[in-house]
Amino acid sequence: MLFVFAVSAFAQISFWIAIWIGVRRAAGDTDDAGGMRAGEPRPVSVVIAARDADETLPELLDTLARQDHPVFEVVVVDDGSHDRSAELVAGLSDRDPRFRVVGNPIDRRGKKGAVSTGIHEARHNLIALADADCRPRPGWLSAVERAHRGDTVIVAGYGPYARSRSVLNTIVRYETLATAMMTAGTIGLGYPYMAVGRNLSYPKEIFENLRNQARGQDLLSGEDDLFIQEASRAGFGVRYMLDPESFVVSNAPESFRSWIHQKRRHLSTSRSYRISVIALLAAFHGSSMMCWIAPLAVGWPGVLFLAAKFAVQLPVTASAASRFGEKGLVACLPLLDLAWLVMLLAVTPIGVLFPPRKW
């Protein structure tokens, strides 16, 4: 039994060292890309899928109108809204021709179909995706365009949640940070497997090349992960942005019920992950669980195994939190790590077996 726990601790140490190396490489790759950009900035088409989003759209449209990128358009795809979402965008387009709204056909209803419609309607080759409840910083599009360099690549970015004074908000923000670390780390190591759709960019030709090949066409969400996996297999490069101007903020779920619904949607995607990805994720989270069980199972040797895990995880997380602007989460790391693990154990089976039907 001691051997099993020792192997688990060794696995956790190895995983966190690999994440640290990967994040550093991802940061260096993006810095190199920005430094090598030359010539006129390329135009960008921002695609937003929106359904009943009239409460959040005004702030998003305002932040997009203040982007410092010289040439861009915003295509908002109205996915059958019953509120004033379409009217809000139409009213803005009368004053600012960079903005326009298009309707999503009934046979394409759903976020995936709405995004596809928006990309089809986009006038520019370079696509940037965000959600209707996001608030990009003024330099977002410029950072996205710089990160593409002259390559045909996919560019993924960080989508943090706004801070508020609640236990749930702290847990959600830590989970988002940990996921971003894993995303940036695996991209930096050359094994990308996921990205967040609220901060993602790629040229049209990649989308056209892969849209009929991606798995999980029946899934409600999470197709961005599968898209990244297929793109990597097809030989397309993936780059991660760590420029703070590239971060796209949105509001965190305000109740455990809404958060669990969100996680069910996200975790339901794992049914379509490749076996190698599932195996690595199982090893990562399984070894973490074993480290937490160790003190209860074998006493003081188990405490040492858990301490060894955090002796590496703590400085790695602190380094990444500094890059992602989340230093305040480090002080509560052990408790947040445990809460994240418990959430995964509780929600993953539900998300896989009973995926939600509404996005």
Domains of the chain: 2-19+275-353 (no CATH), 27-255 (3.90.550.10)
Residue 222 has pLDDT above 60, yes or no: no
Lowest mean pLDDT among 18-22, 29-33, 182-186, 256-260: 29-33
| Comparison of pLDDT for 260 and 3, the residue scoring more | 3
- 218 pLDDT band, cuts 50/70/90, is very low
Instruction: State residue 16's pLDDT score.
Output: 98
Residue 120 has pLDDT above 90, yes or no: yes
Q: Would you say 42 and 145 are in contact if contact means Cβ atoms under 8 Å apart?
A: yes
Dig out the tokens for 41 from the structure. 């900035």
Query: How many residues are recorded in the chain?
Result: 359
Lowest mean pLDDT among 22-26, 37-41, 288-292: 37-41
What does the mean pLDDT of the chain come to? 88
Q: Would you say 30 and 57 are in contact if contact means Cβ atoms under 8 Å apart?
A: no
- pLDDT above 70 covers a percentage of the chain that reads 89
Q: Would you say 278 and 352 are in contact if contact means Cβ atoms under 8 Å apart?
A: no
Dig out the tokens for 30 from the structure. 């993006």
Q: Would you say 126 and 44 are in contact if contact means Cβ atoms under 8 Å apart?
A: yes
- 346 pLDDT band, cuts 50/70/90, is confident
Q: In this predicted model, what pLDDT tens digit does every residue of 135-160 receive, in sequence order?
A: 999 999 999 999 997 677 899 999 99
Q: In this predicted model, what pLDDT tens digit does every residue of 227-261 receive, in sequence order?
A: 898 888 888 999 999 999 999 999 988 888 888 77
Give 158's contacts (C-beta < 8 A, 6+ positions apart): 180, 184, 196, 199, 241, 242, 246, 247, 248, 324
Residue 90 has pLDDT above 90, yes or no: yes
Residue 221 has pLDDT above 80, yes or no: no
- 349 pLDDT band, cuts 50/70/90, is confident
Q: Would you say 152 and 205 are in contact if contact means Cβ atoms under 8 Å apart?
A: yes
| Residues 130, 48: Cα–Cα separation, whole Å | 6
Residue 28 has pLDDT above 60, yes or no: yes
Q: Would you say 246 and 147 are in contact if contact means Cβ atoms under 8 Å apart?
A: yes
- pLDDT above 90 covers a percentage of the chain that reads 67
